[in-house]
Amino acid sequence: MKNIAKTAALAWRYLWSRPLAAALNLLLLTLGLAAITLVLLVSTQLDQAFERDLDGIDLVVGAKGSPLQLILAGVFHIDVPTGNIPLQEVQDLQSNPLVSQVIPLSLGDSYQGFRIVGTTPDYPAHYRAELAQGALWQQPMDAVLGATVARSVVQPGREGEPLVGATFVGTHGLGAGGHAHGDHPYRVSGVLAPCGCVLDRLILTSTESVWLVHETATADDPEDLEILKQEREVTVALVRYRTPLAAVSLPRAINANTSMQAAAPAIEVTRLLRLLGVGADVLRAFGGVLLAVAALSVFIALWNAVRERRFDLAMLRMLGAPRAAWPGWCCARHCGWRPWPAPWACCWATAWRTRWAGRCRRRGCCRSPGPCGCPKRPGCPCWRAWWLRWRPCCRPCRLTAPMWPTCWCSLDRYVFCCPLISPERNHHEKTVDGFVPGPLAADQRCSLGPGPL
């Protein structure tokens, strides 16, 4: 812990001495990571939302128009519907032997921007929604609020009060500012628990409630009201197949023989994702460029730091710093404030060393003696590392190799050469794991000065 504290202190002082460079690298890394993270999160959220909201819906039937608009309005409730379809045709579709279930939806009104959807109890059951308060509608003009709607309509200071029994008035249209249906207020009968699906932002009621509000507002006399009841319509119908073979024949039959249009959610959502994928690819490429520039700046900073601090590192090594001190110091200075490159670099280095070690064991080069008589060959790839161009072959040489300055002796090994030490003592005399190298011969001594890296 003491060595770690010292390394952290040295790294902090180094960063503090170069605030502009550190801030620039941090800014580049932050922008690159933010761009890529944003794209990944948005893509993941879109995929999960599409998969969750389309679960169990094989076909969407509505008025003729744009198939994509029909999917967005009938399933995701983020677009304007293409129109209404006769209720009788929906009932005929429900009696088709290829159809397992039909869920009608009636749209047209909203409350504070949240859509009021007239449907059957099968719609919340399809998404396996549960009630947090109250119960489902039992009669016309009862409504069930989604979790997001319930949080939004609560007045400030009344968050803890139950919403069951409260009344509200819907407005005509799917946006704010429409005509209010003041003669037919809705009563809240229940509140749904959060389900993470489209039901969270909807107000559910019975289909009869939507018919009652619009028929009363449109009819001028009882005869017109009776005609409207006979010509009732719904907006869309969500269809589930009884057999997979229905996907081949049923959409074509609906489009050709009825006034309705059938849209397959899988096809339309794939087309939508392909349209959105262009912008996502551009943002992902931009984030990749930022990360590449940041990685290049980090590499240049590390390279310059090693070259500038080689004499300091040699002195630390001479004073007893372990062999991994200077790589740890450099990584702490340049990667300590960037948490993500350090684990990546460690994993990469471990995989690299494991790969080369396995190759060396297969070749048998680790069992061959080197030119200095050591059991390790100097050119063995397993003794190379990405932070050194060359690693020596024998143990004393490996222990002294990270020291600076160094020289290359006649026996192909690194020996620490310090200007403060005479040539006669120009060798490593420190006992390391019980090994004490003897004095070097005259032809084995090295000249002063830095050796090759």
Q: Could you report the per-residue pLDDT of 254-277, keeping only the tens digit for each? A: 999 888 999 999 888 888 888 777
Q: Is residue 45 part of a domain?
A: no
What percentage of residues in the chain have a pLDDT greater than 70?
Answer: 66
pLDDT for res 173:
81
**For range 66-90, the mean pLDDT:** 91
3-state secondary structure of 25: helix
pLDDT for res 350:
41
**For range 219-246, the mean pLDDT:** 83
pLDDT in tens, 381-428: 433 333 333 344 443 334 444 433 333 333 333 333 333 333 333 344
The answer, yes or no, to whether residue 31 has pLDDT greater than 70, is yes
Structural tokens at position 212: 């009652």
**For range 89-98, the mean pLDDT:** 91
Q: Write the DSSP assignment of 187-242 as a string of letters.
A: EEEEEEPP-SSGGGGEEEEEHHHHHHHHHHHH-SSHHHHHHHHHT-EESEEEEEES
pLDDT for res 67:
92
Ranking 21-25, 73-77, 206-210 by mean pLDDT, the lowest is: 21-25
The answer, yes or no, to whether residue 364 has pLDDT greater than 50, is no
Give the range with max mean pLDDT: 26-35, 171-180, 203-212, 422-431: 203-212
Amino acid at 273: L
In this prediction, residue 90 has a pLDDT band, given cuts at 50, 70 and 90, of very high
Give the structural domain span for 63.
59-263
pLDDT for res 118:
94
pLDDT for res 157:
55
The answer, yes or no, to whether residue 361 has pLDDT greater than 70, is no
pLDDT for res 342:
43
pLDDT for res 387:
36
Q: Is residue 231 part of a domain?
A: yes
pLDDT for res 176:
67
CA pair distance 106, 85, nearest whole angstrom: 10
**For range 360-389, the mean pLDDT:** 40
CA pair distance 210, 213, nearest whole angstrom: 5
The answer, yes or no, to whether residue 291 has pLDDT greater than 50, is yes
Q: Is residue 378 part of a domain?
A: no
How many domains in the chain? 1
pLDDT for res 117:
94
pLDDT in tens, 312-341: 777 777 777 676 655 666 665 555 444 444
More confident site: 378 or 89 = 89
Q: Which residues of 287-308 are buried (b: 16+ CB within 10 A; e: fewer)?
A: beebbeebeebbeebbeebbee
In this prediction, residue 435 has a pLDDT band, given cuts at 50, 70 and 90, of very low
pLDDT for res 445:
40
Whether 226 contacts 97, CB under 8 Å: no
What are the strands, taking DSSP E only, across 33-98? Answer: 59-63, 85-86
pLDDT in tens, 183-199: 889 999 999 999 889 99
Q: Is residue 97 part of a domain?
A: yes
pTM (global) more than 0.85 = no
Residue 322 C-beta-side C-alpha neighbours within 13 Å: 8
pLDDT in tens, 214-226: 877 666 667 777 7
**For range 17-45, the mean pLDDT:** 79
pLDDT for res 204:
95
Q: Is residue 143 part of a domain?
A: yes
Average pLDDT of every residue of the chain: 72
Q: Is residue 306 part of a domain?
A: no
CA distances (Å), origin 6, targets 191, 404, 437 = 59, 20, 31
CA pair distance 202, 174, nearest whole angstrom: 11
pLDDT in tens, 106-155: 998 899 889 999 999 999 999 999 999 889 999 999 999 999 999 888 76
Q: Is residue 189 part of a domain?
A: yes
pLDDT for res 218:
66
What DSSP character marks residue 381? G
Q: Is residue 208 part of a domain?
A: yes
